[in-house]
């Protein structure tokens, strides 16, 4: 090959290389923008959360309803009133029962007077018998008179005992009348707040028929103590034990997390149509003062801390792909997919047992379009 041919070949090869480089440059994939996070050490927790929204409940709440029907004649409380234990909340027409109580009291007074009379006569007869026995010893009284006096004394003593027994019967009748009168009154069983009143003066109220749920006449809530009841999936329930720490959050107090602990785990599984089977778990606040402004009925969520490890290698849970894989980022290099071995984890952090080192960076924006292994990437921001 002549020098001229060599120069031509060299020019052609150079042109082809330039064309190829230009085509590669024009068709090369654009780097994707990714958010990365450094692998570091810290706290990792294994947590269990409720499957559906929980509810704030009062430790004591009573739906009060009458045991008999009646017409409301007195309604001394309104919704929102603070009441004391024993305070009358609603009263029905009871003139007849009050009259029966008054009659029982009067009968008791009469029975007590008759008993006092009978016992006085018994005392007189006893003293008379004793006097005649003493006279008989001196020969001043006949045997017949003494026997008659003894018999009279025993008879009067028996009459005294019978009258006292009748007095007790009349006392019982008073209690029966008072019990009947109490059936016409709804009294507060504990200190609390009246949450709901169903009825007005003049209306007729009837008790709930068997098997038919009706609204209570008075809904009374003790606001001094509240707790959270939330459904936990049956798969997660066996991990939970009473006393375990928990985080509590409420929609009404957005951005605030309260500390608490598990106070009760229901001993049965709830089955709802078209929903997972769940177990109700109750959590109470670590600091009761924090729950003073919380109303029963608020929606709430609990996150039970089943286990935790401090100062372990961890990555954000959002960075983990299916099959325990992550995308590792290095400046100037395509994204690398790497399988890791995980330990404890929750929605925020997952422990890395093997597959990564502290200081390496992983992609957390894995749901962005075009983010996959082998593509060039540029760091959008560095989160610490």
291: alpha, beta or left? (left if phi > 0; alpha if psi -120 to 50): alpha
> Which CATH number do you get for residue 362?
2.40.420.20
Q: Which residue has the tokens 């008791």?
A: 108
Same domain, 334 and 360: yes
The pair phi, psi for residue 49, each rounded to 5°, is -120, 160
Which residue spans within the chain are E strands per DSSP? 32-38, 40-49, 54-64, 70-74, 82-83, 88-92, 185-187, 192-197, 204-205, 218-233, 245-250, 257-265, 278-285, 299-316, 325-329, 336-339, 341-345, 349-354, 361-363, 377-383
Question: β-strands 257-265, 278-285: how paired?
Answer: antiparallel
pLDDT band of residue 270 (cuts 50, 70, 90) is confident
- For residue range 87-140, what is the model confidence (pLDDT) as tens digits? 999 999 999 999 999 999 999 999 999 999 999 999 999 998 889 888 888 888
pLDDT for res 172: 95
Assess whether 260 and 322 both reside in one domain. Answer: no
Alpha carbons within 13 angstroms on the beta-carbon side of residue 108 total 16
- Mean pLDDT, residues 288-297: 84
Which of 222, 231, 175 lies closest to 195, judged by CA?
222
Last residue of a domain, one of 308, 342, 374: 308
**How many angstroms separate the CA atoms of 153 and 130, rounded?**
9
- Do 284 and 331 lie in a common domain? no
pLDDT higher than threshold 90 for residue 16: no
Q: What are phi and psi of 162, to 5 degrees?
A: -65, -40
The arithmetic mean of pLDDT across residues 220-236, rounded, is 90
Q: For residue 281, is it within any domain?
A: yes
Say yes or no to pLDDT of 216 above 60.
yes
Structure tokens at 297: 């009925």
377 or 172, higher pLDDT? 172
- 295 assigned to some structural domain: yes
In this structure, what token pair is assigned to residue 15? 């042109």
Specify the pLDDT at position 13: 72
Q: What pLDDT sits at residue 1?
A: 56
**Do 166 and 108 share a structural domain?**
yes
pLDDT at 17 over 80: no
pLDDT, position 176: 95
User: Is 25 part of any domain?
Assistant: no
Whether the Cβ atoms of residue 39 and residue 352 lie closer than 8 Å to each other: yes
Confidence category of residue 207, pLDDT binned at 50, 70, 90: confident
Range of the domain at 229: 49-60+225-308
State the pLDDT confidence band at 25, using cuts at 50, 70 and 90: very low
Average pLDDT score over residue span 361-382: 84
Average pLDDT over residues 156-173: 94
Q: Measuring CA to CA, how many Å separate 182 from each of 172, 174, 179, 303, 377?
A: 15, 12, 5, 46, 80
- Identify the band that residue 206 occupies on the pLDDT scale cut at 50, 70 and 90: confident
Cα–Cα distances in Å, from 229 out to 62, 302, 303? 17, 9, 12
Mean pLDDT of all residues in 342-358: 91
d(CA 182, CA 166): 24
Average pLDDT over residues 225-231: 92
- pLDDT range class, residue 22, cuts 50, 70, 90: low
Compute the distance between CA of residue 230 and CA of residue 56 in angstroms, rounded to an integer.
Answer: 9
**Same domain membership, residue 287 and residue 261:** yes
CA 16, distance to chain mean position in Å, is: 77
Q: Say if residue 382's pLDDT is above 60.
A: no
**Is residue 379 a part of any domain in this protein?**
yes
In this structure, is residue 245 part of a structural domain? Answer: yes
Instruction: Give me the pLDDT at residue 332, please.
Output: 81
pLDDT of residue 3: 66
Chosen domain end from 157, 174, 191: 174
Q: Is 375 a domain residue?
A: yes
Is it the case that residue 21 has pLDDT exceeding 60? no
User: What's 270's DSSP letter?
Assistant: B
Same domain, 259 and 299: yes
The C-alpha angle 65, 192, 261, rounded to 5 degrees, equals: 110
In-domain check, residue 163:
yes
In the chain, the number of structural domains is 3
Ramachandran region of residue 211, left (φ > 0), alpha (ψ -120 to 50) or beta? left
Judged against a pLDDT cut of 80, whether residue 322 lies above it is answered with yes
Residue 208 has pLDDT above 80, yes or no: no
The answer as to whether 274 is a domain residue is yes
Residue with tokens 């801390």: 305
Q: Percent of the chain, pLDDT > 70?
A: 91
**Residues 290, 353 within the same domain:** no
Q: Are residues 232 and 303 in the same domain?
A: yes
Backbone CA torsion sign across 69, 73, 79, 84: negative
Task: Point out the domain boundary residue: 291, 308, 325.
Answer: 308
Q: What pLDDT does 26 receive? A: 46
- Mean local confidence (pLDDT), 156-170: 94
The rounded mean pLDDT for the chain is 87
Do 230 and 304 belong together in one domain? yes
- Cβ within 8 Å of residue 370, ≥6 positions away: 32
How does residue 20 score in pLDDT terms, banded at 50, 70 and 90? low
Check which CATH number belongs to the domain holding 232 and give it: 2.40.30.170
Q: What is the pLDDT of residue 66?
A: 86
pLDDT in the model for residue 384: 45
Write down the H helix ranges in the chain.
3-27, 95-137, 143-182
Cα distances from 145 to residues 79, 110, 156, 158, in angstroms, run 77, 34, 16, 20
- Cβ atoms of 259 and 191 within 8 Å: the answer is no
**Residue 380 banded pLDDT, cuts 50, 70, 90:** confident
* 303 and 229 share one domain: yes
Say which residue, 16 or 304, is predicted with more confidence. Answer: 304
């Amino acid at each position: 090959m002549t020098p001229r041919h060599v120069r031509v070949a060299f020019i052609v090869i150079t042109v082809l290389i330039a064309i190829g480089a230009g085509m590669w440059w024009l068709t090369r994939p654009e780097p994707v923008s990714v958010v990365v996070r450094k692998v570091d050490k810290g706290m990792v927790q294994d947590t269990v959360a409720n499957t559906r929204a929980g509810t704030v409940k009062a430790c004591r709440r009573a739906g009060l309803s009458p045991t008999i029907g009646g017409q409301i004649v007195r309604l001394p409380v309104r919704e929102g009133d603070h009441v004391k234990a024993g305070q009358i909340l609603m009263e029905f027409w009871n003139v007849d029962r009050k009259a029966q109580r008054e009659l029982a009291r009067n009968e008791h007074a009469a029975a007590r007077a008759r008993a006092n009379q009978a016992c006085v006569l018994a005392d007189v007869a006893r003293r008379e018998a004793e006097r005649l026995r003493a006279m008989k010893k001196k020969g001043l009284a006949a045997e017949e008179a003494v026997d008659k006096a003894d018999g009279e004394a025993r008879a009067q003593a028996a009459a005294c005992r019978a009258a006292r027994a009748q007095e007790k019967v009349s006392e019982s009748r008073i209690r029966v009348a008072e019990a009947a009168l109490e059936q016409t009154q709804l009294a507060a069983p504990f200190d609390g707040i009246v949450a709901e009143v169903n009825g007005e003066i003049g209306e007729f109220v009837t008790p709930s028929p068997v098997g038919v749920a009706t609204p209570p006449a008075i809904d009374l809530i003790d606001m001094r103590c509240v707790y959270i009841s939330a459904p936990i999936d049956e798969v997660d329930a066996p991990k939970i034990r009473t006393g375990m720490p928990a985080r509590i959050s409420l929609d009404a107090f957005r951005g605030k997390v309260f500390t608490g602990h598990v106070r009760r785990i229901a001993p049965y599984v709830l089955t709802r149509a078209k929903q997972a089977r769940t177990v109700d778990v109750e959590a109470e606040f670590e600091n009761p003062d924090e729950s003073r402004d919380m109303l029963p009925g608020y929606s709430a969520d609990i996150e039970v801390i089943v286990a935790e490890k401090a100062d372990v290698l961890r990555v954000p849970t959002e960075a983990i792909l299916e099959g325990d894989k992550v995308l590792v980022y290095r400046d100037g290099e395509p994204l690398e997919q790497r399988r890791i071995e995980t330990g404890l984890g929750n929605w925020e952090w997952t422990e890395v047992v093997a597959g990564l080192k502290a200081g390496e960076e992983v992609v957390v924006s894995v749901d962005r379009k075009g983010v996959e292994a082998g593509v060039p990437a540029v760091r959008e921001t560095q989160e610490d």
